[in-house]
Structure 1
Amino acid sequence: MTEHKAEQTIPEPVAAFVEAVNRHDEAAFLDAFTDGGAVDDWGRVFTGREQIKGWSDNEFIGAQGTLAVEEVEVAGTRVTVIGDWRSTHANGRSKFVFDVDGDQLARMTIREG
Structure 2
Amino acid sequence: MTTPTLPEPVATFVQRVNAHDEDAFLDAFTLDGAVDDWGRTFTGRDQSKAWSDKEFIGARGTLTVEEVTVVGDWRSTYANGRPKFVFDVSGDKLSKMTIREG
TM-score (norm 1): 0.88
Q: Percent sequence identity over matched residues?
A: 75
Could you list the runs of 5+ residues in structure 2 that have no partner in the other structure?
Answer: none
Q: Quote the residue 1:6 is aligned against.
A: 2
SS of 1:81's equivalent in the other structure is: coil
Offset at residue 36 of structure 1 (A): 0.4
Q: Which residue of 2 aligns with 1:34?
A: 30
Match of 1:82 among 59, 63, 71: 71
Gaps of 5+ in 1: 73-79
Aligned positions, number:
102
Superposed displacement of residue 7, structure 1 = 1.3
- Cα distance, 1:6 vs structure 2: 2.2
Runs of 4+ in structure 1 off by over 4 angstroms are none
Structure 1 CA distance for aligned equivalents of residues 16 and 97 of structure 2: 14
Query: What do residues 61-111 of structure 1 show as CA deviations (whole Å, max 9, x unaligned)?
Result: 000010011000xxxxxxx31110000001010100000000000000001
Between Structure 1 and Structure 2, whose CA radius of gyration is higher? Answer: 1
TM-score (norm 2): 0.98
Q: 2:59 aligns with which of 33, 42, 63?
A: 63
Task: Tell me how large the CA RMSD over aligned residues is.
Answer: 0.7
Flag the structure with higher strand content: 1
